[in-house]
Chain A
Amino acid sequence: MYAYNQYDQALVDQRVDQYRDQTRRYLAGEIPEDEFRILRLMNGLYIQRLAPMLRVAIPYGLMKSQQLRAMAEISRVYDKGYGHFTTRQNMQFNWPTLESVPDILADLAKVQMHAIQTSGACIRNTTTDPFAGVSADEIEDTRPWCELIRQWSSLHPEFTYLPRKFKIAVSGSASDRAASQVHDVGLHLYRNDAGEVGFEVIVGGGLGRTPVIGKTVKKFLQPQELLSYLEAVLRVYNLNGRRDNKYKARIKILVNAVGVDTFGEMVEAEWEQLKGGDLRLPWSEIDRVKGFFTGPDYLAAEHAEHDLSRAFAEYPQFATWYRQNTRDHKQGGYRIVVVALKNQLQAPGDVSHQQMDGMAALADEFSFGELRSTHDQNLVLADVAQRDLLALWLKLQDIDLARANVGTLTDMINCPGLDFCSLANAETLVLSRQINETFDDIDYQYDIGDIQLKISGCINACGHHHVGHIGVLGVEKGGKQVYQFTLGGSASEDASLGKTLGRSIEQDQVVVVIGQILDVYVELRETDETFLQLVRRVGFAPFKERVYGTHQRSAA
């Protein structure tokens, strides 16, 4: 993976000093509260209900084992011994003190990490497919491009006071595992009819109050002009995005207001001035960055391969885990391993410091010392030889991370909700606990198959409920926490927004309703039909009938 050179290191070191000075001046009363708010947000520091929350950047979800170890240590020294992986592949600490943040940043800088632009109205961490560079269905590795975007967007002087935050996601295979169509900009690397690799540029996607699927603004962008085109998009947005209402300030609102064609013309007009200029990437630079992502020293297939049939026979649970949690690798003899951060005891995406240290050790032992975080709040060991899988699985059990539930109902996305978040309308973590208790029969989960359940505690949609196959949104009605259901959403290549099923549901009925929805699926499905396919085929009527028709379970 990418390793810092002297410039990258100097940048983060200087940024730590700068932020240390800003914190000092704030504590001395020299920076007004509202201004420091913006300064700290640009460094990932929120103030939450109970404590500050620090979001640490994991550029496009890639980390080395020593970086994860450093985060484990930070969670021990400055926090309560755990961290939380977010849907944008970053790490959050829920309990640091404001005063300690400069020291945390200094510790992070020692392992080439930072919290730059993890919040605030600026260009955020670029996210991508967690299987980039290893997946069998990949067209082109997205990581070098993400790194180039990271560098260009880091401390960009012009785009630090945008109308609103700006999120970019890059996908490089037919399956979109980066939710690229619900980002401000989604980039799809693909090969055109002439055989050239370039980007399709999608703009104006996003969730929040006004969920929108992005629209294509450029069909084919030459890769060398990636940064010049992005700069043009950002400049048009910075000058024209709404600033009068923060709920109308995302680029999606601008794109919808003027129409994607007009927006595209505005971008082209600005891009005319930029393309072929300073921002055009020379191939030498592209190749230099690509050189960091050439892949590890894989064993020859015959050494990595292993006949697992005996192990499967001896440990049926290992066979299940293999089927559920590992994926095809482009390299013969290797598997991609998804480690679900979704056990029964912890909140989705949470990891204890022991688990972080444990995962770092397993990465060293079995996956060339690297790990990835995923949009679904899981971890990935991307390069595991088949012959090591059993040993890895056994060791994952020691740290409670061997649950074979990737892609199932309990592999849900969940925002922190009322337990931590000051904007929340309702609790969400109680729901994931209830769901885990109610649907604890793993064979039932396997029978239900591929399903994405996504839960948000308020309309800001951090839990991506609009694009869940089943979405649950916490709302407040008459002082009570109730939940709205949506069905039929997807964040993948077939992206769609879920539609509301009907009246809100009381907290203790949420699992009942999920059960009813799944019953309808089981009763009506055809062979091999997934839940999402069924919803798209049969529509809402049977679900409405089951949930609202004969039962009086909903809150008014």
Chain B
Amino acid sequence: MALIKDQQLSLDHATTPELRFADWLSDGQNNADAVLANGDDDLASLLTHANKLSMIALEFDTFADGRGFSMARILRRAGYQGEIRAVGDVAMDRIDFMQRVGFNAFELRDDQEVTEALSKFGEVTVHFQPSADGKGPAYMA
């Protein structure tokens, strides 16, 4: 599975955690600092504990489940600086939007061609709404 990080193919990176956020919580937040979460997890407690985590992998069971978009956005707004990695049903047609809401790493689905995926960032350069990328809407430029 290829990983894109900060808009580049990443060959040397931490593996995606298998430890689920809920288990990490109930195990007394052992010294692991990377967890796997998804839309069913409690966002409020994820926010409370985010500063102890260097990576939060947000899993998309199906691409149609857009909760992860809002979760990433809120994590960044709360000042989370670690890696937010999109995992699961992650395809090139969504990574640009994902990046805009705050994801910085993408574990692509197996059928995805990496070079082609990299060309999808900035396919649409005009943005009409502020987002986690810190850019304001185009008309405010």
Contact = CB atoms under 8 A, between A and B. Distances in A.
Interface of A: 5, 7-8, 10-11, 14-15, 17-18, 22, 30-32, 35, 38-39, 121, 151-152, 154-163, 227, 231, 235, 238-239, 243, 273, 277-279, 285, 288
A91 B97 CA distance: 28
A162 B66 contact: yes
A231 B67 CA distance: 14
A157 B126 contact: no
B129 interface: yes
B100 A157 contact: yes
Contacts of A22: 93
Q: Which 4 A-B pairs have the closest CB atoms?
A: A161-B66, A278-B130, A157-B97, A157-B100
A39 B92 CA distance: 12
Contact of A157 (B69, B74, B77, B91): B69
Contact of A11 (B101, B126, B131, B140): B126
B128 A161 contact: no
Given A14-B126, A30-B111, A161-B64, 18 more contacts: A5-B139, A7-B126, A7-B128, A11-B128, A14-B124, A31-B93, A38-B63, A151-B137, A155-B127, A157-B131, A158-B131, A159-B66, A160-B66, A161-B94, A238-B66, A277-B130, A279-B129, A279-B130
A160 B124 CA distance: 15
23 contacts: A5-B139, A8-B126, A11-B128, A14-B124, A14-B126, A15-B124, A22-B93, A32-B111, A35-B91, A152-B128, A156-B128, A157-B98, A157-B101, A158-B66, A158-B101, A160-B66, A161-B64, A161-B65, A227-B129, A235-B74, A239-B71, A243-B65, A273-B77
A158 B73 contact: yes
A258 B29 CA distance: 32
Contacts of A7: 126, 128, 138-139
Nearest to A160: B97
Interface string B92-113: 0110111011000000000101
A152 B137 CA distance: 8
A33 B98 CA distance: 22
B126 A158 contact: no
Contact of A38 (B64, B69, B125, B130): B64
A16 to B, nearest CB: 10
Given A11-B126, A151-B139, A235 B66 contact: no
Contacts of A227: 129
Contacts of B111: 30, 32
Contact of A39 (B65, B73, B77, B93): B93
